[in-house]
Amino acid sequence: MSNDMPMLDASTMVLVLALGNLTLCALLTFFNHGPVRAPAMTFWSLSKQIQGGAWLLLALGDSGVVPAPISIPGGYALLFAGVAIESGASWEAARRPAWRTPTLILGGVAVLVFFLCYLIDEEGLRSVAASLLLGAFYLSGSVALGWRWRDASLLQRFLSLATGALALVVAARGLSVLLLPRGWGWLSNDLLSQFSSGALYLLLLGNAFGVLLLTRERLQDTLERLETIDPLTDAPNRRGFFQLLAPWLALARRPGLPTGLIVFDLDGFKRINDSYGHPAGDVVLHQMVALCRRQLRDSDQLGRVVGVEFAVLLPRTSLDEAVMVAERIRAAIDTTPVKSERAMIKLTASFGVTTIRPEDSTTSLFQRADEAMQRAKQAGRNRVTPASEAVADI
Ligand SMILES: Nc1nc2c(ncn2[C@@H]2O[C@H](COP(=O)(O)OP(=O)(O)OP(=O)(O)O)[C@@H](O)[C@H]2O)c(=O)[nH]1
């Protein structure tokens, strides 16, 4: 390996890669055992452990501690396995876990191809195969990082492009040895070989910081989402719903079409939890929200206000129309039992309906709708009551 890179000390480079990967894998192992765990992280940590071991074996081979016939095939086999697992972890992080298995199979194929090249030509062909295979796996990781380009953050896009460019530098070395054995002008193969080592080092650094920062970025997104979205039903929570409501409260002070508000509470939900268990109750809530959404227009907003109480915001809707919508939701809940693991569960809900008035605050608006809803409960449940009006017969 040392005669591959005469201008830069190759042994030092291999040692740096070994130490870098081992330090990183130690950090990842401790990070992974902390309270915050990200999917794909375990896989990624394993890949770094294997790569650390691979570079260590190559470094020991370089310094003569381990004989070359063991260190080179062993080191590279581990390296391909590690990089293939890393690429698989990137596909998992890109929410394409199905692509992980083919990546791992390709890792096995890469090891076989490398062994074949090593048996044919211990130096030249082996270097070509190593560069091309490593470049291909890093390129696959780069594609995974940029997979949802439109939704990707700036950091993710940068990482994808940087990984892709560095992967091409690693692969270019193999291509150049194969196609231009004497180099291309001033770009000798020795120089390209050093660029390739530098690229591998930058890939190590870029991946290390990149993955940790990406994990942090994703956790931050999740936390921000949890502030306004209820994870069980995927509907806006109280805070999220009040945020959606704010502009309509402001608009109600100007003349124009009214905005309707429905508040409803599931009847006797405690009994459902007690009879079928809390997890079944969760399933019911999830499916009930999906059922209600099917009764609404795209411009309507359904939110989970608290516990099993929900609200629907109906832009440009009069009280009579809002009562009709509430009645539609009530009938849908009443006539559609929800399927849980153990049983078909029948549900009903009680509704209070109102429209936003110019003087309303969130508190006064919800107080009025809640009072109407309580009247529906007191009148026997499973019914719709408009605010300040008698109980609507059903
Ligand atoms: N499974 C499940 N249950 C919940 C969740 N949130 C609230 N609940 C339960 O829903 C029940 C709501 O009870 P209440 O609204 O007080 O009363 P109820 O039994 O629904 O009866 P009425 O409202 O008087 O018709 C409580 O037992 C809560 O524990 C949840 O996210 N999942």
Whether residue 391 has pLDDT greater than 80: no
Mutate-to-test residue for ligand 1 from 270, 288, 305, 348, highest number of ligand atoms within 8 A of CB: 270
Strands 301-306 and 338-339: unpaired
Report CA(245)–ligand 1 centroid distance (Å): 24
* 308 CB within 6 A, ligand 1: yes
In order of start, what are the domains of the chain with their CATH numbers?
2-227 (1.20.1070), 238-386 (3.30.70.270)
Mutate-to-test residue for ligand 1 from 237, 271, 305, 308, highest number of ligand atoms within 8 A of CB: 308
pLDDT attached to residue 206: 87
Report CA(296)–ligand 1 centroid distance (Å): 24
Whether residue 153 has pLDDT greater than 50: yes
Output the residue whose Cα is nearest ligand 1's atom 7.
Answer: 307
The set of residues, in sequence order, having a beta carbon less than 8 Å from that of 40 and lying 6+ positions away, is: 89, 90, 92, 93
pLDDT attached to residue 27: 78
What's the CA gap between 201 and 204, in Å, rounded? 5
Q: Which of 64-68, 173-177, 254-258, 378-382 has the lowest mean pLDDT?
A: 173-177
* Most confidently predicted of 11-20, 77-86, 172-181: 77-86
Output the residue whose Cα is nearest ligand 1's atom 26.
Answer: 270
Report CA(281)–ligand 1 centroid distance (Å): 9
* 285 CB within 6 A, ligand 1: yes
Q: Which residue has the tokens 């030509």?
A: 121
Report CA(343)–ligand 1 centroid distance (Å): 19
Report CA(276)–ligand 1 centroid distance (Å): 13
- Could you read off the pLDDT of 292-315 as tens digits, one per residue? 999 999 999 999 999 999 999 999
Q: What is the mean pLDDT of residues 124-142?
A: 88
Percent with pLDDT over 90 in the chain = 48
pLDDT attached to residue 393: 38
Q: Does 32 or 305 have the greater pLDDT score?
A: 305
Strands 260-266 and 349-355: antiparallel
pLDDT band at 389 (very low <50, low <70, confident <90, very high): very low
pLDDT band at 33 (very low <50, low <70, confident <90, very high): low
